[in-house]
Structure 1
Amino acid sequence: MNPWIAIGALALVGLLIPLGMMSVSALLRPTVPEDSKRATYESGEVPTGGTRMRFNIQYYMVALLFVVFDIETVLIFPWTVIYRSALEGGVGLVTVLVPMLVFIGVLVVGLAWAWRNGAVKWARSPRAEQRKGAQAER
């Protein structure tokens, strides 16, 4: 049997199941037109202000740094699992250790750069700045 037939069948099933589920839900769901369903929030709360809000970029920077260092952990874990077996298999210590040290070194340089540019420094609120200024005047 040709392996492409199995791949095509899997792709077909992967498309048909979600499309079928969406079609069945469109046929079975109740449709009750209401003005409140067109509101920004459908929770019964009366919306105040616009839907566009400005968020501090710091949230995104912290999330991005989290993802980078989370992936670092995922990549270091398999290395730690095979470290001992590689040494017992006759591979030299330098051959096993140097690539991971280079990897961690690149990440440390990236963290130092982010720290120096203020990416990990949390933004202060205006009220905190006022308190800091008042304490400095004392």
Structure 2
Amino acid sequence: MKPRSGGLAPRSSQAHMRGMTTIGLAILVAFLGMFVFAGIQLAPAYLNYMKVAGALDGVKAEFEGANPTVGSMRRSLGRRFDVEGVSVIVPKDVNIALESGGYRIDADYDHSVSYLGNVSFTVHFKKSVVVRR
């Protein structure tokens, strides 16, 4: 076979191709989409935790230095959960224990979030505040 008149031999097509194929792009988009979808599913759980943490901080601010009772703190926590729309934990699940100089309020709970089919995420949350007498 004769070389072409331009003096350049034909190049190997695979050696000089650059970029991403359509199937590669589709796989990348699907992979990234799984993480985005997981974030979308988990965001409400973290927002709910922020509401719980805010309620505990509010109880601390309300009763700090006021010599409160366990019942009054639990009622205040229940009202705050109702106002914030917290439903993953109820006030009776929050541990209020006497500690030297005050009370320790512990909210320790798990929040399960459905992902795809029978796959779900379980996130563990823990928030503690100390209310001084």
TM-score (norm: length of structure 2): 0.34
Determine which structure has more spread, i.e. the larger CA radius of gyration: 2
Q: Which has the higher contact order (CA 8 A, sep 6+)?
A: 2
Of Structure 1 and Structure 2, the greater strand share is in 2
TM-score (norm: length of structure 1): 0.33
Of Structure 1 and Structure 2, the greater helix share is in 1
